[in-house]
Amino acid sequence: MSTFDTLLIANRGEIACRIIRTARDLGLRTVAVYSDADANALHVSMADEAHHIGAAPAAESYLNIDAILAAAKASGAGAIHPGYGFLSENADFARAVESAELIFVGPSADSIETMGDKAIAKAHMLDAGVPCIPGYQGEDQSDATLLSHAREIGFPLMVKAAAGGGGKGMRLVTGHETLADDLALARAEALAAFGSDVLILERAVQNARHIEIQVFADRYGNTLTLGERDCSVQRRHQKVVEEAPAPGLSQTIRQRMEKAAIAAALSVRYVGAGTVEFLLDENGEDFYFLEMNTRLQVEHPVTELIRRIDLVAWQLILARDGKIDINLDDISPEGHAIEVRLYAEDAFNDFLPSTGKLHKFNVDSAIRADAGVRSGDVITPYYDPMLAKLIAFGDTRDDALLQLRQALDKTAVLGVTTNLPFLRTLLAHPTVRDGATTTTFLDETYPDGPPEPAITTQTVALAAALFLRGETEAFAAHSSLRDTALLGFSSDGGLPIPLDLSLNSQLYSLTATGVGTPLITITGGGFAHQVTHDLRIDGLRKSPHHAPDGTGGLYLQTTDHHLHVLRAQPWEKTDTTASGALTAPMPGLLVALNVTAGDTVKKGDTLAVLEAMKMQHQLTAATDGVVAALHVAAGQQLSKGALILTTEDPT
């Protein structure tokens, strides 16, 4: 029987905060670890003790086994919880923890090793009688061998990193023309994320549903399932919406999947919380083993809500006494739970990651929010862009959807562009409402990415009124008179004031009348709107989220937009705005420059590869041309907008 009173969490962000909360409820002392970039992070302030473990890049901190073990020893921790991501599915880490005579809150290293490598896991599942997707998972990783097997499997096919998940090192290949490039990119992403560039190939199962089974097992052979989750709404093979139970899943398929999941867990003598993932064919009858996640899953809260349990508490209790004492009848599923992942990314610009300061972060209290950030935090380019998970529970699926949509309207995230407007649109989509999504739903619905809604004239007027109100209040706050009784008084009878504003770099020439009075009129470009001090636009009450940016501008969040409102500056063309300039669309590491000065390029050619938030982004030529000059070198860390290279007309 193992005991410990101090727990070190070898992770960061949302999951570290999540584990700390439950550990604290169980009376455990908690120890956080942090990198240079996370010195002031929420998980650091929540823990009883925190240890610095290295520089900002994950390879030098959260993936540094020696540094984490040193922190555990220094803090007197008796156990380590790995969370998810980073070292959570690293068998060497689990062995190192056990060698240090500490408790690893998770399965055995052997189980992790078997299931953590997709190639080995697939061979193991075939032996265990679990249905698997046809493909190639051999040791020969040469391009020639992979290309040969790809042709045998047929297109479309999936290229996957054998050592990891989360969409890293994964590519859908539709034809042999792009396969060589896809293999190279998948290898690079896999090596950066998991330290291994081994790949497997699988036939792409089109129009499938992603269904996963939560399992839990103790050391005495007790293995049980806690039902399924539907995670079919995915972008770049990363889940966006998850729910439990899976809508429309027959009891027959559910039971067959649960039986296969238990067989998979028993085959590796699994202990702890784990998830067995399947693809359910569009015929609704055939399903195939996808992978087993030997850790706590990101989407575990939806299972917790419908089962009224705490899986982290179960993990910690299991780590202390090793036995499950659960009556499944007491936790039979009730109601419905839906989760969305809130990312720092621009959904209307190819989902590029976003960084910067969170001037305001406030989630509606009516739902469960597992967050790893707070107002004032700085989002850096070093880690996964997920800020929080927002989870709603209802008696029915419709109830849960409605509650989640209403909560998103009341949630404020200002200062960093997020996918919040896109999530609102997504939850209102008929296919999502009907529970009829597949893994290809997002790609098919938005083949060129979701279109950005136009900024309405009402929104422009609202932004102008808030901007002027902020300036008025700032003036009053710094006025030597300090006479608040004068606020709202206008002696000029409402003379018109010209106002040029920039809303996300879109320029608006406006006129404001009645500044300093309870009613401001904003005109410009053929429109005129009246805005009251309590934000009624033409009599209609609005409830926007807004916050000053600290430099005289403001952030404004509406249903459709996250806007940065500034006084417009004279437009000056620079090299970085020239049509022949390639710039960094986000902060990141330039991992490859594929051209040199003088090279001829065609529209669509990959010129450079930028790595940000654990993903690699191909930067392509907008037009045919000749590379005129390179302004940076591979290996440099770039800021957003940095000039990478310039091209000129080939003629």
CA separation for the pair 348, 422 (Å, rounded): 8
SS3 of residue 613 by DSSP: coil
Can you tell me the distance from the alpha carbon of 140 to that of 304, in angstroms, rounded to the nearest whole number? 42
Q: In whole angstroms, what is the distance from residue 348 CA to residue 212 CA?
A: 29
The answer to whether the CB of 391 falls within 8 A of the CB of 301 is: yes
Q: Rounded to an integer, what distance in angstroms lies between the CA atom of residue 484 and that of residue 493?
A: 20
The span from the CA of 311 to the CA of 366, in Å, is 22
Give the whole-angstrom CA distance, residue 82 versus residue 72. 12
Tally of CB atoms within 10 A around 609 = 21
Identify the active-site residue in 295, 307, 405, 469. 295
Contact 355, 366 (CB under 8 A): no
DSSP H helices, 5-64, are 13-25, 42-46
For 4-24, letters b (16+ CB in 10 Å) and e give bebbbbbbbbbbbbbbbebbe
The beta strands (E) that lie in 67-112 are given as 79-81, 103-104
* Angle, in degrees to the nearest 10, between helices 420-428 and 397-410: 150
Cβ–Cβ < 8 Å for 393, 337: yes
**CA–CA separation, 400 and 393 (whole Å):** 5
Cα–Cα distance, 31 to 71 (Å, whole number): 9
**What's the rounded Cα separation, in Å, for the pair 114 and 268?**
7
- Nearest CA to 578 out of 645, 626, 496, 504 is that of 645
Residue written as tokens 């989640």?
404
Label residue 29 left, alpha or beta by phi (over 0 means left) and psi (-120 to 50 means alpha).
Answer: beta
Structure tokens at 580: 């022949």
Candidates 173, 150, 185, 237; CA nearest to 606 is 185
CA 435/CA 431 separation, integer angstroms: 6
Q: How far apart are CA 612 and CA 343, in angstroms?
A: 13
Cβ within 8 Å of residue 485, ≥6 positions away: none
What residue has token string 């989630």? 363
Q: Quick check: is 469 catalytic?
A: no
Structure tokens at 109: 């290293």
Residue 149 Cα distances to 111, 152, 203, angstroms: 28, 5, 11
Closest CA to 61 of 81, 96, 32, 34: 34
The single-letter code of the amino acid at 575 is: D
**Total residues belonging to the chain:** 651
Q: In this structure, what token pair is assigned to residue 19? A: 């584990």
Active site residues: 295
